[in-house]
Every structure is written in C-alpha cells, then in structure tokens.
Amino acid sequence: MVKAYEYKIARPEDIEELVRTRMIVLRAANKLSDDEDMSEVEKEAYAYYKHALENGEHIAYLVYDNGKFIGAGGISFYQVMPTYHNPSGKKAYIMNMYTTPEYRRQKIAFHTLDLLVKAAKKQGVSQIALEATDMGRPLYEKYGFVNMKDEMELV
C-alpha cells in the first residue's frame, strides 16, 4: 500500500524551501562538498523563483509527510520558434527532482513527475525535457522519457 503524502504546489512564501532544496540537488548532481561556495547560485535561484512563480513560468511541488519536507520537483516553461513538430513553440524543462534519502523508492518522485507532466500538458505543452542523473534515469525511463538523439550542446 502506498502511503498518502501531501503534494503542495509551491507559492512565493515557499521560496526559502525551494532554494534550500535546489542547493541540495545541485550539490548532489555536481558532486560538490558542503564547503563549496554556492552563495551566488543561491542568490540567483531566489531571484529566479521569485520571478518565475509569480508569472507562471515555473511550477513546483513540495512533498510533505505530516508536515516534514520529504521531496520536491519543478518544471519551467519557455517559448521557442514554432516548428513542424511543435507548432506552438511551447516547451518545458523538468528540474530539481528530489526525495530525501529515507523516503526514496516509495514512488514519491514518480508521482511528483506525473503531476509536473500533467501541469505541462494542461498548458498545451507537449515537448518536455530533463537532464537525468544516473540515479534518476530509471525513474524517467519508466515514465516514458527517452534519450535525445538530435540535440547538441555547446560546452
């Protein structure tokens, strides 16, 4: 039986929790120690959330177990030139997926991901991308995400 957790859409008053979670995710994904200075990223993340939550460019879910924070996930919306396969040009990018270690493997991330995908589809977005860590890849593949073969990135 799956335990019922509270999945809450983040509001501007939740920015501190979102930024804290973002720092945890970035440290883990980039294998950074707690000593690594992230103050600039933290400041910019705060400004991003403040702007994007207010104008609808970002939706985030916070997950709680009896008031205790246990997970999060977010999706950013953006516009590109219309294409044959995406006439609206609307796209979304899933990020900041996180579940505290003691709550992993309980379908929390899968349910959060499902809420985010449904939010995108409700806004008419059909092209949804994400960057997967090795730990997250099986979850995203199970949901139906596939590796992209036609994109490149300048590094």
| Assigned token pair, 29 | 């994904």
Note whether 93 and 75 are within 8 A (CB). yes
Q: Which domains does the chain have, with CATH numbers?
A: 6-143 (3.40.630.30)
**Core vs surface per residue 63-84: b (16+ CB within 10 A) or e:** bebeeebbbbbbbbbeeeeeee
Say how far residue 145 (Cα) sits from the centre of its chain. Answer: 14
- Pick the residue with more confidence: 2 or 144? 144
Beta strands 90-99; 68-79: pairing state: antiparallel
Task: Give the per-residue pLDDT at 149.
Answer: 79
Note whether 25 and 96 are within 8 A (CB). yes
pLDDT digits (tens, 9 = 90+) for 93-127: 999 999 999 999 999 999 999 999 999 999 999 89
pLDDT at 1 over 60: no
pLDDT at 130 over 70: yes
Total-model pTM: 0.90
pLDDT digits (tens, 9 = 90+) for 41-97: 999 999 999 999 999 999 999 999 999 999 999 999 999 999 999 999 999 999 999
